Structure 1
Amino acid sequence: MNTATTKVHFASKQLLIAAIALMTCSSLAAQEAESEQDKKDADVERIIVTVERRTQDLQDLAGTAFAFSGEDLKAQGIQDITDIAESIPGLEIGNNQGNVEVWIRGIGSSNNTELGDPAAATHLDGVYIPRPSGIGSAFFDISRVEVNVGPQGTLRGRNATAGSVNIIPWRPALNQWNGSAEVEVGNYNQRSITGALNIPATDNLAFRIAGTKVDHDSYYNDVGPLDLELAEAADNLGLRFQALYEPTDDLSIYLSYDYAREQGTGYTGTNFALPLGLGIDPDDIEDPRDVVGRGFTPIQDTIHDGFKIEVTWDMGKALLEYNGSYRDLIYDYQAATPLSPDFPGVFEALDPLDQAIDDFSRFQFLTDSESIIHELRLLSDDDTSRLTYTAGIFLFNERQQTFLASAGDRGGFFQGAEFNQPNTDTDSFSVYGDATYEFSADTRLTIGLRYTEDTKTRQGVNARYAFALGGFDVNTGNPFGCCMGARVGTEGFAFAGFGRSIYEPDQDGDGAVSDAEFLNFYFDGIAQFGERDTLDDIFANGITPGGADVRPACSDSDVTDSLICNQDGTHSFAVPISPNNSITVQDGRIDNNFVDWRIRIEHDLNNDQLVYGLIATGHKSGGFNDTFSDPTTGLTLAPTYQEESVTLFEFGSKNEFDLGDVPTTFNFSAFYNDYRDQVFTNLLSVEQALEFNSGAPVDPLDATPGALVVSFSFNAADSAIYGMQFDGKFELPYDMNLNWTALWLEAEIEDSQDIQDSRFQADVAPDEAVFQSIDGNRLPRTPRFQLNASLSQVFDISSGTIDYVISAGWRDEQFLTIFNSIDYQNPDNPRRRLDDSVDAYWTVDAGLGYTHGDGALRFEAFANNLFDEVRTAATIITQFDNTRFFTRPRTFGVRMRYTY
Structure 2
Amino acid sequence: MTTFKRSLLLGCASLAVSAGGAWAQTAPAPETPETQDETAELGEVVVTAERREQTLQNYAGVAQAISGDDLRAVGIDQIEDLQSAIPGLSISNQEGNVQIYIRGVGTANNTELGDPSAATHLNGIYLPRPRGLGGLFFDLARVEVAKGPQGTLRGRNAVAGTLNIIPNMPRLGSYEGFGQGEVGTLDTVGYEGAVNLPIGDDQALRLAVYGVDRGTAYENVGNDQSLDPTGEQQLFSARATYLWQPNDRFRLSLMGDFESERGTGYPATNIRNGLVGGGTPDQLELREVLYRGPQGLVENDNWGLALNASYDFGPAVLEYIASRRSVDYYQVNAASEGVVRPGYGAADVDYDNFGTQYWLTLSESDVHELRLSSSAGSDTVWSTGLFYFKEEQQVGFLSVVDKGQFYSGTEFTFPDVQSDSFAAYFDITWPVTDQLRLKGGFRYTEENKSRRGIGGNWSLGLGSEGFGCCFTTRLGTEGFRPIFTGRSTYAPPTPGNNQQAAQYFLGAFSPGARDTFLQQIAGVADGSRPNGTCVNRPDTQPSYGGQVCPANGQHSFFQISAPGEQVGSYEDSFKDYRVGFEYDLTPDHLFYGTVSTGHKSGGFNDTIVVNGVSTAPTFAPESVTLYEAGVKNTFRPAFGRVDVNANVFHYDYADQVFQTLVSLGTGPGGASAGFSQQNINVAQSTISGFELETRFSLPFGMRLDLIGAYIDARADNGVLTDTRGTDYGDGTPNFNIDIGGNELPNVSKVNLNAHLQQTIDLFGGRADFHLLANYRSSYYLSIYNELPVIQFTARPADAAGQAAYDAFKASMAGATVDPTAPLASPFLRSTDARQGGFWGRQEGYVTVNLGAGWEPSGGRYRIEGYVNNVFDETVVEKQLVSDQVVNVLFLNQPRTAGLRLRANF
TM-score (norm 1): 0.89
Instruction: Quote the residue 2:502 is aligned against.
Output: 519
Partner of 1:716: 682
Q: Deviations over 1:331-350 (max 9, x none)?
A: 100123221112233326x4
SS in 2 for 1:71: helix
Post-superposition offset of 1:706: 5.1
SS at match of 1:248: coil
Distance change (3 Å), C-alpha of 1:494 and 1:436:
same
Question: Does the residue aligned with 1:435 lie in a helix, a strand or coil?
Answer: strand
How far 1:248 moved relative to its partner? 3.1
Cα deviation code 1:182-219 (max 9, x no counterpart) = 00000111000111010012111110100011101122
| Alpha-carbon distance change, 137 to 283 in structure 1, aligned in 2, over 3 angstroms | same
Q: Which runs of 5+ in 1 are unaligned?
A: 1-6, 27-41, 689-703
**Partner of residue 172, structure 1:** 170
Letter in 2 for 1:369: S
Deviation at 1:763, TM superposition (A): 2.9
Aligned length: 836
Q: Is 1:813 paired with 2:778?
A: yes
SS at match of 1:464: strand
2:6 corresponding residue in structure 1 = 14
**Relative to structure 1, is the Cα distance of residues 705 and 378 closer, same or farther in structure 2, using a 3 angstrom cutoff?**
farther
Is the CA contact (8 Å cut-off) linking 1:194 and 1:213 kept in structure 2? yes
The equivalent residue for 2:266 is 267
Task: Determine the structure 1 residue equivalent to 2:25.
Answer: none
Moved more, 242-251 or 754-763: 754-763
Q: What is the aligned partner in structure 2 of residue 224 from structure 1?
A: 222
- Aligned residue number for residue 468 of structure 2: 479
Q: Could you tell me how far apart the structure 2 residues matched to 1:548 and 1:182 are? A: 64
Q: 2:584 aligns with which of 604, 608, 621?
A: 604
Q: Which runs of structure 2 are paired with 1:275-286 in the superposition (5 Å)?
A: 275-277=274-276, 279=278, 281-286=280-285
Does the 8 Å CA contact 2:848/2:870 hold for their aligned counterparts? yes
Contact 2:550-2:556 at 8 Å conserved across structures: no
Q: Write the deviation string for residues 738-770 of structure 1: whole angstroms up to 9, x where unpaired.
A: 111111110110121x21112233433767712
User: Deviation string for 1:350-386 (max 9, x for gaps)?
Assistant: 43x4xx1221112110001111010011111151x43
Deviations 1:134-163 (CA, angstroms, capped at 9, x unpaired): 111111000000000011111124241000
In the alignment, the residues of structure 1 paired with residue 244 and residue 482 of structure 2 have an alpha-carbon distance, to the nearest angstrom, of 47
Q: CA deviation at 1:658?
A: 4.2
Partner residue, 1:319? 317
Would you say 1:234 and 2:213 are equivalent positions?
no
Q: Which residue identity lines up with residue 485 of structure 1 in the other structure? A: T
Report the CA distance shift for 1:514/1:285 in structure 2 as closer, same or farther (over 3 A): same
CA distance in structure 2 between the partners assigned to 1:188 and 1:892 by the alignment: 9
Residue 696 of structure 1 is matched in structure 2 by none
Give CA deviations for 1:319-339 in whole Å, capped at 9, x if unaligned: 111000000011100123221
Any conservation in 2 of the 1:677–1:715 contact (CA below 8 Å)? yes
1:247 aligns with 2:212: no
1:300 CA drift (Å): 0.8
Name 1:129's counterpart in structure 2: 127
Residue 396 (str. 1) matches residue 379 (str. 2): no
Paired letter, 1:517:
Q
With over 3 angstroms needed to count, the CA separation of the structure-2 counterparts of 1:158 and 1:768, relative to structure 1, is closer
1:570-600 C-alpha deviation (Å, 9 max, x unpaired): 436345326xx56331111111111110011
Name the CA shift for 1:453/1:782 in 2 (closer, same or farther; >3 Å): same
Paired letter, 2:860: A
User: Could you tell me whether the CA contact under 8 Å between 1:584 and 1:629 is conserved in 2?
Assistant: no
TM-aligned CA deviation for residue 279 of structure 1:
4.8
* Counterpart residue number, 1:894: 899
Matches within 5 A, 1:700-715: 707-715=673-681
Distance 1:705 1:146, change over 3 A: farther
Which residue of 2 is the match for residue 379 of structure 1?
373
User: Matches of 1:320 and 1:465 in 2, distance apart?
Assistant: 55
Corresponding residue number in structure 1 for 2:477: 490
- Residues 80-121 of structure 1: per-residue CA shift (max 9 Å, x gap): 111101111100000011100000000001111101011100
Match of 2:826 in 1: none
CA distance in 1: counterparts of 2:130 and 2:351, whole angstroms: 33
Q: Which residue of 2 aligns with 1:698?
A: none
Q: Aligned partners of 2:671, 2:837: CA distance in 1, in Å?
A: 21
Match of 2:136 in 1: 138
Tell me how far apart the structure 2 counterparts of residues 257 and 799 of structure 1 sit (CA, whole Å): 41
Q: Say which of 613, 623, 628 aligns to 2:603.
A: 623
| Residues 748, 678 of structure 1: alpha-carbon distance in 2 compared, 3 angstrom cutoff | same
Task: Specify the code of the residue in structure 2 equivalent to 1:669.
Answer: N
Task: Answer yes or no: is the 8 Å Cα contact 2:236–2:259 preserved in 1.
Answer: yes
Distance 2:185 2:252 in 1: 43
- Alpha-carbon separation, structure 2, partners of 1:424 and 1:323: 24
AA aligned opposite 1:898: A
Give the equivalent residue in structure 2 for 1:692: none
| CA positional deviation for 1:715 | 1.0
Residues 845-882 of structure 1 deviation map (CA, whole Å, 9 limit, x = unaligned)? 00010011201110000011111112111111122321
Query: 1:672 Cα deviation (Å)?
Result: 0.0
- Aligned with 1:137: secondary structure? helix
User: In the alignment, is residue 657 of structure 1 matched against residue 600 of structure 2?
Assistant: no
1:772-851 alignment, distance < 5 Å: 772-825=737-790, 826=830, 830-851=834-855
CA distance in 2: counterparts of 1:687 and 1:464, whole angstroms: 14
Counterpart amino acid of residue 726 in structure 2: Q
Q: Distance in 1 between matches of 2:274 and 2:375?
A: 63
Separation in structure 2 between the aligned mates of residue 459 and residue 550 of structure 1, nearest angstrom? 33
Selected match of 2:715 from 749, 752, 757: 749
Please say if residues 44 and 656 of structure 1, whose CA atoms lie closer than 8 Å, have aligned partners that are also in contact.
no
Residue 646 of structure 1 and its aligned partner are, at CA, apart by 0.3
d(CA) in 2 for partners of 1:331 and 1:222?
25
For the residues of structure 2 that align with 1:270 and 1:51, how far apart are their CA atoms? Answer: 37
Contact 1:398-1:427 at 8 Å conserved across structures: yes
CA offsets, 1:451-509, max 9 Å, x none?
Answer: 1111111111102012224533xxxx6611x6x432111111111111333322246xx
Q: Which of 861, 867, 878 is the equivalent residue of 2:865?
A: 861
Distance 2:16 2:512 in 1: 73
In 2, Cα distance between the equivalents of 1:394 and 1:780?
32
Distance in 1 separating the partners of 2:726 and 2:287: 27
User: In structure 2, which of residues 726, 729, 738 is the aligned counterpart of residue 764 of structure 1?
Assistant: 729
Q: Which range moved further: 397-406 or 655-664?
A: 655-664
Q: Could you tell me the percent identity over the aligned residues?
A: 36
Cα pair distance change 1:319/1:537, threshold 3 Å: same
SS in 1 for 2:84: helix
Alpha-carbon distance change, 770 to 501 in structure 1, aligned in 2, over 3 angstroms: farther
Change (3 A) 1:172 1:744: same
Q: 1:23 to 1:444 in 2, by over 3 A?
A: farther
Distance (Å, rounded) in 1 between the aligned partners of 2:529 and 2:167: 50
Deviations 1:39-76, CA, capped at 9 Å, x for gaps: xxx97431111111111110111100001000101111
Instruction: Give the secondary-structure state (helix, strand or coil) at the position aligned to 1:339.
Output: strand
1:589 match = 569
**What CA deviation, in whole Å up to 9, does each residue of 1:269-313 have, x standing for no partner?**
111122223655422213x11111112321110011100011010
Structure 2: distance between partners of 1:345 and 1:146: 49
Partner of 1:850: helix, strand, or coil? strand
Q: What amino acid sits opposite 2:577 in the alignment?
A: W
CA contact (8 A) 1:685 1:705 kept: no
2:444 pairs, out of 451, 469, 482, with: 451
* Aligned pairs for 1:68-147 within 5 A: 68-147=66-145
SS at 2:577 equivalent: strand
- Flag the 1:225–1:318 CA change in 2: closer, same or farther, 3 A: same
CA–CA separation in structure 1 for the residues paired with 2:258 and 2:328: 12
CA displacement, residues 210-260 of structure 1 (integer Å, 9 cap, x when unaligned): 001110112211112222211111111000011001233321110010000
What's the secondary structure of 1:84's corresponding residue?
helix
Q: State the 1:686 CA deviation.
A: 2.7
Change over 3 Å in CA distance of 1:852–1:568 after alignment to 2? closer
Separation in 1 of the partners of 2:421 and 2:555? 54
Q: In structure 1, which of residues 536, 539, 542 is the aligned counterpart of residue 518 of structure 2?
A: 536
SS of residue paired to 1:597:
strand
